[in-house]
């Protein structure tokens, strides 16, 4: 009897779980707030995010066109002043092929901190809003907002000791990069070694990213050796060490010389890391000012590489360093290395600048790792030839080929510099570098580079090229092959290998695939090309100039408008709860919607209504709604339809597909993320069958 009772309880429990899983408001990220008194005039606000297993919360540092980053908005008050920006722990980094970018996120737990200066003698509150987005392996939730309130004690000495307190600020440089595990260990000293290891295991992806940066920086260091400012200095430098009669001492000085080169460049990276740091990352990656500045820096360096002018340092600085090098010994080896860095600046400066620009927008360690990789490769030949001087006999002689390397690097600098201008253009919708304009620049740049490699293009400082060598011809073939690969992109080809560097496909004005689809629809229906109402729809879709459906499908982006058209055409409604930052939505569209059978049914049998739950377009005041779920006023397209999904269907995950009749009643149980095409077809067919049965 007891056995059957246990079995019955188990069945009831499973049924309850299945029911709640089908209609559940997911809250995978839970926030808690606390304060930490640093001094009488300073308080740290702690924002603790507890994240459910398999879910992750995005960092504040997310590149444009990626998921929505975590952000903190504070209500202004005379009672306090923010000191710096919100600091976050180390984030995991992982390349997401759907976004074509490295995305930073947190798992399990994340503690954000904001330091404030207390300006009030009385107790007060710090209020504001956190906006964040989270995903798991199979779905993403729309951006959500959480209000926060901190109760802060007043400072009786406010306004009197500000000057003194300014000199005793807590050292926050280290806390900026402390992982969550450190914060946990301070509160729970009984944590086991296994628990701490789990908390720190997220560093694996970050280490992978740092190794990638180190590798490419190492290659850049090898490329810098082949420039005309550096290559001829190898035998000159080695001769300096050969003057020493004691071979052991000479080798020690050579080793000191190589280590000094690494030290000098790594110090540069460290200065950049401390000066900018992780808090500056979001500003660098999204604001127009640094991106335009980086673009101009790349163009300036490229002009130098192409021979327009030479970047030189003051002669007195070089001469003074050279005089110190003549003294010999360890100090002499160091200044010999410093002299090399100064003399070669006109060639290495652009490469070093490119590495620092690329790495400074990430973690604090990245500029340091980048400079370490570059300097290691840069110092390697000098040190090796100093150890083994006989190798000098096998070195190729200096000549015009060195300048050719410099010019080729100049072309590459121009191409890569356009990426920074493109980021600013996309973020602020300037319309300067649409996809085809960007591609046209790259096609021209690399075509000119190919002609240069063939000797058909010559600069004033180039030597005569009597014949083409096999290596140069090979590079020319690779360059022209790359150009030919890019040409179809001018007509709408996706060019997946370059998707991380090119502007989005939606910015492409002359998309041949879209033109063909539009013409087929127009001629197939007998409509004219000047009609503002798309074929198959009742009227022009609201927000149609901002939002779009994939695969040439036509539909609505407003629920009421779509439902009204469905009633006119006597068709069921296909509701697509989606979002700009929904990775799984794009995957469903690419792998399920793209099936010809699915496309045919969606195009002919349904009125499609795509409701973007993360769009930030402001609605007219007459269309604002007050939520029945949280009581807040929803003023944007995204917040309106995110609230609609929660209030109506008790779900807040995307993608989420709902089939309705002309009165807005659900036809069949809604469907979520499922890459099985047959299952999706069955979902559509069952909805159509139920719609016909109700008629």
In the three-class reduction of DSSP (H, G, I as helix; E, B as strand; rest coil), residue 593 is classed as helix
SS3 content of the chain, % helix, strand, coil (to 5): 55, 15, 35
Compute the mean pLDDT over every residue in the chain, rounded to the nearest whole number.
74
Please check the confidence at residue 474 and state whether its pLDDT lies above 80. Answer: yes
Helices (H), 361-462: 365-387, 400-428, 435-453
In angstroms, the Cα distances linking 159 to 75, 163, 251, 339 are: 21, 9, 61, 50
Peptide bond into 521 cis (omega under 30): no
- The H or E element containing residue 276 is helix 247-276
- pLDDT given for residue 68 in this prediction: 83
Distance CA(10)–CA(7), nearest Å, equals 5
- pLDDT given for residue 198 in this prediction: 31
Please check the confidence at residue 644 and state whether its pLDDT lies above 50. Answer: yes
CATH of 533-694, one of 3.40.30.10, 1.20.1440.230, 3.40.630.40, 3.30.9.30: 3.40.30.10
Please check the confidence at residue 524 and state whether its pLDDT lies above 60. Answer: no
Which structure tokens are listed for 210?
């740092």
Q: 554, 571 in Cβ contact below 8 A?
A: no
Mean pLDDT of 663-669: 92
What topology is assigned to 29-201 in CATH? Immunoglobulin-like (2.60.40)
Peptide bond into 654 cis (omega under 30): no
Which structure tokens are listed for 362?
């990430």
- The H or E element containing residue 114 is strand 109-118
- Which phi and psi (to 5°) does residue 152 adopt? -120, 135
CA dihedral 52, 55, 60, 65 (to 10 degrees): -160
Distance CA(543)–CA(4), nearest Å, equals 59
pLDDT tier for residue 17 given thresholds of 50, 70 and 90: very low
Mean pLDDT of 373-399: 69
Please check the confidence at residue 182 and state whether its pLDDT lies above 90. Answer: no
Pick 257 or 663 by higher pLDDT: 663
Distance CA(273)–CA(484), nearest Å, equals 40
Pick 579 or 113 by higher pLDDT: 113
In angstroms, the Cα distances linking 239 to 92, 243, 294, 394 are: 48, 7, 39, 16
In the three-class reduction of DSSP (H, G, I as helix; E, B as strand; rest coil), residue 184 is classed as helix
pLDDT digits (tens, 9 = 90+) for 198-235: 333 333 344 556 677 788 788 877 777 766 556 555 65
Q: What residue segments make up the domains of the chain, in order of their start?
A: 29-201, 216-425, 533-694
- Determine the straight-line distance between the first and last CA of the chain, rounded to whole angstroms: 50
Share of the chain above pLDDT 70, in %: 65
pTM of the model: 0.42
Mean pLDDT of 632-650: 88
Which structure tokens are listed for 465?
């090229």
Which structure tokens are listed for 341?
């860095």
Pick 324 or 157 by higher pLDDT: 157
Q: 429, 458 in Cβ contact below 8 A?
A: no
pLDDT digits (tens, 9 = 90+) for 322-348: 555 445 556 667 776 776 676 566 556
- pLDDT given for residue 279 in this prediction: 42
Q: 113, 86 in Cβ contact below 8 A?
A: yes
Chain mean position to CA 169: 33
Q: 116, 81 in Cβ contact below 8 A?
A: yes
Distance CA(672)–CA(657), nearest Å, equals 6
Pairing of strands 134-135, 56-58: antiparallel
Please check the confidence at residue 273 and state whether its pLDDT lies above 90. Answer: no
- Sheet (strand 656-660) strand order: 607-612, 573-578, 656-660
Which structure tokens are listed for 644?
């609609």
Highest mean pLDDT among 245-249, 479-483, 591-595: 479-483
In the three-class reduction of DSSP (H, G, I as helix; E, B as strand; rest coil), residue 117 is classed as strand
């Amino acid at each position: 009897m007891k056995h059957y009772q246990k079995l019955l309880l188990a069945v009831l429990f499973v049924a309850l779980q299945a029911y709640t899983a089908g209609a559940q408001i997911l809250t995978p990220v839970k926030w808690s707030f606390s304060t930490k008194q640093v001094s009488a005039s300073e308080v740290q606000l702690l924002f603790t995010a507890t994240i459910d297993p398999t879910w992750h919360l995005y960092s504040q540092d997310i590149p444009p066109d990626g998921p929505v980053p975590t952000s903190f908005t504070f209500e202004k008050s005379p009672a306090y002043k923010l000191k710096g920006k919100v600091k976050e722990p180390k984030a995991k980094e992982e390349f997401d092929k759907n976004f074509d970018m490295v995305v930073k996120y947190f798992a399990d737990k994340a503690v954000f901190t904001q330091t404030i200066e207390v300006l009030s003698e009385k107790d007060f509150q710090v209020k504001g809003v956190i906006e964040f987005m989270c995903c798991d392996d199979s779905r993403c939730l729309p951006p959500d907002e959480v209000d926060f309130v901190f109760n802060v004690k007043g400072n009786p000495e406010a306004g009197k000791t500000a000057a003194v307190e300014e000199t005793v600020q807590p050292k926050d440089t280290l806390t900026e990069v402390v992982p969550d595990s450190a914060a946990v260990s301070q509160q729970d000293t009984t944590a086991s070694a296994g628990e701490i290891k789990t908390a720190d295991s997220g560093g694996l992806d970050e280490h992978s990213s740092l190794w990638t940066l180190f590798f490419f920086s190492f290659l850049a260091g090898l490329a810098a050796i082949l420039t005309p400012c550096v290559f001829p200095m190898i035998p000159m430098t080695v001769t300096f060490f050969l003057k020493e009669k004691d071979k052991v001492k000479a080798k020690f000085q050579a080793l000191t010389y190589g280590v000094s080169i690494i030290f000098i460049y790594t110090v540069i990276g460290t200065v950049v890391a401390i000066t900018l740091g992780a808090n500056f990352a979001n500003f660098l990656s999204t604001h127009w000012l640094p991106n335009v500045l980086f673009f101009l820096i790349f163009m300036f360096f490229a002009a130098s590489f192409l021979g327009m002018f030479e970047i030189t340092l003051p002669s007195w600085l070089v001469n003074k360093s050279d005089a110190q090098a003549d003294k010999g010994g360890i100090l002499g080896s160091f200044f010999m290395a410093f002299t090399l860095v100064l003399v070669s600046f006109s060639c290495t400066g652009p490469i070093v600048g490119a590495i620092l620009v690329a790495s400074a927008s990430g973690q604090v360690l990245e500029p340091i790792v980048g400079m370490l990789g570059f300097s290691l490769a840069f110092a390697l030949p000098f040190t090796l030839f100093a150890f083994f001087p006989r190798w000098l006999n096998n070195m190729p002689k200096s000549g015009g080929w060195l300048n050719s390397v410099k010019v080729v690097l100049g072309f590459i600098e121009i191409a890569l510099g356009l990426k920074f201008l493109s980021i600013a253009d996309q973020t602020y919708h300037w319309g300067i570098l649409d996809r085809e304009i960007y591609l046209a620049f790259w096609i021209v740049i690399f075509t000119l580079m190919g002609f240069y490699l063939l000797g058909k293009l010559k600069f004033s400082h180039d030597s005569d090229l009597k014949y083409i060598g096999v290596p140069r011809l090979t590079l020319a073939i690779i360059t022209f092959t790359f150009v030919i690969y890019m040409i179809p992109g001018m007509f709408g080809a996706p060019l997946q290998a370059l998707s991380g560097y090119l502007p989005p496909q939606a910015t492409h004005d002359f998309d041949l695939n879209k033109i063909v689809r539009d013409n087929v629809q127009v001629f197939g229906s007998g409509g004219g090309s000047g009609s503002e109402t798309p074929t198959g729809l009742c009227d022009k879709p609201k927000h149609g100039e901002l939002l779009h459906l994939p695969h040439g499908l036509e539909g609505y982006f407003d629920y009421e408008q779509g439902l009204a058209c469905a009633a006119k055409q006597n068709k069921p409604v296909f509701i697509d709860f989606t979002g700009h930052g929904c990775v799984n939505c794009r995957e469903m569209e690419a792998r399920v919607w793209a099936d010809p059978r699915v496309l045919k049914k969606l195009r002919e049998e349904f009125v499609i209504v795509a409701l973007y739950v993360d769009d930030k377009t402001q609605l007219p005041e007459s269309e604002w709604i007050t939520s029945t779920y949280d009581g807040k006023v929803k003023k944007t397209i995204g917040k309106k339809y995110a609230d609609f999904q929660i209030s109506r269907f008790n779900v807040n995950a995307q993608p989420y597909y709902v089939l309705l009749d002309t009165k807005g009643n659900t036809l069949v149980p809604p469907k979520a993320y499922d890459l099985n095409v047959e299952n999706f077809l069955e979902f559509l067919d069952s909805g159509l069958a139920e719609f016909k049965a109700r008629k």
